[in-house]
């Protein structure tokens, strides 16, 4: 039971995300160290046989950072800090 709770101690990981990680064979924080969040996300999409909310990828990125960093930056422990960033030269829509 301790390994299950350990996942839920990761910032941004609640019961649902912890269950998703367990479905992927991740049962402890240590198992996240060095993982590729994008691969975990694609595996989860494959497991569920459907697209998964992109925010799950952001939480996976944060969780791997948390597990892989001995002195994490508190700002980077917020899942929304891991959202996709548009390229700098991307065209932006403007209202006329």
Instruction: State percent of the chain over pLDDT 90.
Output: 78
Q: Each residue of 23-67: pLDDT tens digit?
A: 999 999 999 999 999 999 999 999 999 989 999 999 999 999 999
What whole-number percentage of the chain has pLDDT above 70? 83
- pTM for the model stands at 0.82
Query: What is the rounded average pLDDT for all residues in the chain?
Result: 87
What's the pLDDT at 86?
A: 59
Q: How far apart are the first and last CA of the chain?
A: 56
pLDDT at 5 over 80: no
């Amino acid at each position: 039971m301790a390994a299950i709770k350990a996942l839920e101690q990761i910032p941004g990981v609640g019961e649902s995300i912890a269950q998703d990680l367990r479905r992927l064979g991740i049962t402890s924080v240590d198992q996240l160290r060095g993982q590729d969040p994008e691969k975990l996300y694609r595996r989860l999409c494959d497991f569920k046989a459907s697209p998964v909310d992109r925010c799950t990828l952001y939480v996976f990125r944060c969780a791997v950072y948390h597990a892989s960093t001995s002195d994490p930056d508190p700002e980077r422990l917020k899942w929304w800090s891991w959202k996709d960033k548009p390229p700098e030269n991307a065209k932006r829509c403007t209202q006329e």
